[in-house]
Amino acid sequence: MLFGSLFVFTMVALMGISMVGDAWKTRPIGAVLPRLHAAAALFGSALVIGAALDGDTRLYNNIGMAVVVILLGVYMGFRAHKGKSIPKAILIAHAGLAVACYLLLGYYALNK
């Protein structure tokens, strides 16, 4: 399950990278990619939660970080939906915490 979630989050990261350029330059982002990004992130999170429920307690750190990443993403989504620009500090916090979460998940997946 960890390798599956790592694969899903790799796709989520690629989608995020493709959106960050527009967000950083305060350009509007299309409607489909953010929704796909969010849906894939939730699916990957469900896989991580499933692995944690199977007894891998190392993943609790990832779940805690993911909650914050998701909340920041929802905040950015609401701002973008209202036509407002996304604060760069929020974007940096979302991306930075997501990268940390991804790297920790990779470490756990590769060091079973």
Query: pLDDT digits over 58-103, tens only?
Result: 999 999 999 999 999 999 989 988 988 888 899 999 999 999 999 9
Q: What is the pTM of this model?
A: 0.88
| Count of structural domains within the chain | 1
How far is Cα 65 from Cα 44, in angstroms, rounded to an integer?
13
Within 57-108, strands assigned E span none
- CB-based contacts of 9: which residues, under 8 Å, 6+ apart? 41, 44, 102, 105
Residue-level pLDDT at 31: 83
Residue-level pLDDT at 19: 87
Which two tokens mark 56? 């891998």
DSSP state of 31: S
Residue-level pLDDT at 22: 76
Residue 78: Cβ-neighbour burial (10 angstroms; 0-12, 13-18, 19+): exposed
The tens digit of pLDDT for each residue in 9-48 reads 999 999 999 888 777 777 777 889 999 999 999 999 999 9
- Smallest Cα–Cα separation from 77: which of 21, 43, 32, 12? 32
Please give the distance of CA 89 from its chain centroid, rounded to a whole number.
16
Structural domain containing residue 17: 2-110
Residue-level pLDDT at 44: 96
